[in-house]
Amino acid sequence: MLTKDIDQAILSLDKEDVVVIPTETVYGLAGNAFSEHAVRKIFELKKRPLNNPLILHVSELQKVYALTKEFPKKAKVLASKFWPGPLTLLLPKKDIIPDLITAGKKTVAIRIPNHALTLSLLEKLNYPLVAPSANPFNEISPTNANHVMKYFKNEEKIILDGGQCEMGLESTIIGFDEEEVIIYRLGAITLEEIESVIGKVTLRNVKMKDPNAPGMFLKHYAPKTKAILTSNVEEFIVQSSDKKIGVIRFDKPSDDNLSDRVIVEMTFNGSMKEASQKLYDYMHYLDDLNLDVLVFEKLPDIGLGKTINDKLFRATS
Ligand code: TXA
Ligand code: MG
């Protein structure tokens, strides 16, 4: 059920039910982090393996302190700059956090999201919310309530409708090893923004199946339709034997003479911001058209373009 009433969401969460919440990045499937019932239900609904840990969401720094053992100096600098916002920190967890959430890891992923509705919900709760993206495992993340309803149409659950997600890409995940700052997932905060605050960081958003970074699976965010990533869309279309092609381009549309096989083409008008906000929405749309192949154009490999290229690379792997 769609609603903007946070009190209704609270009633449901207090009963250990799962509720869908909006954030500035993507929608999340949320539950009381201290309810084993709710946490298991989330894994089950997402069809997510239990070795893939969840992110905690809270409304303020005091609550982060209550859940973590240490808060490295550089983490504090990043938190004060980017929270509330699309930054997830991996911090040593206190024992009160169930191992189920962290898949047995000693660190917990935690963030303060920047969405008015969800922040006021979190302020009223005396427990943190776990919230993975509200999509089945490995599918495209939802950036509005319609995407969520498509995935969970048979589930009776409360969906807090917070409109279209402002950023449209997941949070950037950062961990710490002594003095080293490590990016484990490129996201809505760019590498350049992080480095301008903290200096050089290590990028370790692995492109392999690495058991130490369970969430960084190569294949991810994937449409069901066959999809490819290329710097030369027109060449691909000319050579392709597929008949029904859907295209997403960064700045300009393709030549008219290709139009007999391109069923739909969308562009981001050369805007990184627009690309970030609309990428998943376009992917959802194209994936529902039953085309033969989706062709994504590589973005310039800077700023949000770097994040988006990483998502597209995984979507087409
Ligand atoms: O923007 C976001 O972060 C969204 C919104 C809803 O907040 N949430 C989200 O959650 O993207 P999810 O579960 O789809 O992705 C979280 C990623 C997973 O890949 C998971 O493996 C990783 O974070 N993760 C969680 N805890 C971790 C930990 N302790 N160490 C390493 N990776 C962790
Ligand atoms: Mg996800």
317 lines ligand 1 (CB under 6 A): no
Percent of the chain surpassing pLDDT 90: 88
131 lines ligand 1 (CB under 6 A): yes
DSSP secondary structure string, 2-49? EE--HHHHHHHHHTT--EEE--SSS-EEEEETT-HHHHHHHHHHHT--
The pLDDT, as a whole number, for residue 298 is 97
- pLDDT, tens only, 96-126: 999 999 999 999 999 999 999 999 999 999 9
pLDDT of 213 over the 60 cut: no
Beta-strand pair 245-249/293-297: parallel
- pLDDT, tens only, 117-160: 999 999 999 999 999 999 999 999 999 999 999 999 888 899 99
Residue with CA closest to ligand 1 atom 22: 215
Looking from the CA of residue 216, the nearest atom of ligand 1 is 19
**DSSP assigned state of 1:** -
User: Whole-angstrom Cα distance, residue 143 to residue 27?
Assistant: 6
Looking from the CA of residue 109, the nearest atom of ligand 1 is 26
118 lines ligand 1 (CB under 6 A): no
- pLDDT, tens only, 56-106: 999 999 999 999 999 999 999 999 999 999 999 999 999 999 999 999 999
Q: How many CB atoms lie within 10 A of CB 124?
A: 13
Which of 137, 152, 148, 133 is closest to 284 using CA atoms? 148
20 lines ligand 1 (CB under 6 A): no
The pLDDT, as a whole number, for residue 216 is 58
CA of 53 from ligand 1 middle (Å) equals 7
Looking from the CA of residue 52, the nearest atom of ligand 1 is 21
For the chain, the straight-line distance linking the first and the last C-alpha, in angstroms and rounded, comes to 35
The pLDDT, as a whole number, for residue 257 is 76
Residue with CA closest to ligand 1 atom 12: 132
174: enclosing H helix or E strand: strand 172-177
The pLDDT, as a whole number, for residue 221 is 75
Q: Report the alpha-carbon angle 274-221-51, nearest 5.
A: 135
132 lines ligand 1 (CB under 6 A): yes
CA of 153 from ligand 1 middle (Å) equals 24
Q: Is the peptide bond before 84 cis (omega within 30 degrees of 0)?
A: yes
Which of 288, 315, 292, 299 is closest to 237 using CA atoms? 292
109 lines ligand 1 (CB under 6 A): yes
Residues 6 or more apart whose CB falls under 8 angstroms from that of 153 comprise: none
User: Whole-angstrom Cα distance, residue 121 to residue 4?
Assistant: 11
**DSSP assigned state of 258:** G
Average pLDDT over residues 24-48: 98
Which of 106, 71, 103, 66 is closest to 89 using CA atoms? 71
Indicate the SS3 state at residue 286.
helix
Average pLDDT over residues 163-177: 98
Q: Which two tokens stand for residue 46?
A: 């997402």
3 lines ligand 1 (CB under 6 A): no
The pLDDT, as a whole number, for residue 211 is 47
What CA–CA distances, in Å, run from 197 to 64, 92, 185, 192, 204? 21, 22, 18, 9, 19
CA of 317 from ligand 2 middle (Å) equals 16
